Amino acid sequence: AEKIILHAGQINITDKIKAINELNIIAEKEINLHDAALLSSNNLSMTAINHINALQSEVKGKDITLISRHGDIRFQSSDKPGYFNADNTRRISTLSANGSLTIQAGKNLLLQNTYLTPSTDISLTANHDIGIENTVRLSPRQTGPMPPDKWDPDLLNAILPEQEKGNLHFLLPMTGVLHASTSLMIHAGGDFVAQGAFISAGKDVYL
């Protein structure tokens, strides 16, 4: 469809939803994504009074906005052996915004083993804690071949171990990497924890 709006009390999605121009999801309670794909060629937004939870799910649009008024926002990938694609590559949660990525959590924000494609601007805000985690259980070597999104070779060489440089075409998707070509802002009312994460911007970084 050209434009899709879903508005309900609690929204649980386990399938694929695609909009040509705009996809808006509004929940009076919670939004739960499990093995889901939300795709929009332009704007994509999710707004919930309480929590927004995404497990093993893909969210892709030009500009993405996620807002939880009074709850947590959690994007996570499972390390269970059942989550693989047909070509035996591991499936991971993905946030893909090639324009702006804006996330506002009323409580905590967690991006755990989540692949984020490079964006123009990134803004992460939480009234409590923010966690960006790339754990050993889902190291880059376990997560399958590189998606088609183009990474800056200079950025990749800054992240990779010395022995990996020059082999970018064999690279696996790196979870916990945030890169904005213009500006990146992270504001936490409580703690900000970056575990195995890499954060960079072409111009400004505000923490």
Could you read off the pLDDT of 52-72 as tens digits, one per residue?
Answer: 999 999 999 999 999 999 999
Residue 92 has a pLDDT of 84
Regions of the chain where pLDDT drops below 70: 79-90, 136-173
Tokens of 86: 């047909």
Residue 142 has a pLDDT of 42
Residue 23 has a pLDDT of 97
> What is the C-alpha to C-alpha distance for residues 114 and 77, in angstroms, rounded to an integer?
6
Residue 83 has a pLDDT of 58
DSSP character at residue 108: -
Within 8 A by CB and 6+ apart from 205, the residues are: 183, 184, 185, 199
- The full set of domain ranges for the chain reads 16-80+92-136+171-205
Within 8 A by CB and 6+ apart from 24, the residues are: 4, 5, 6, 43, 44, 45, 46, 47
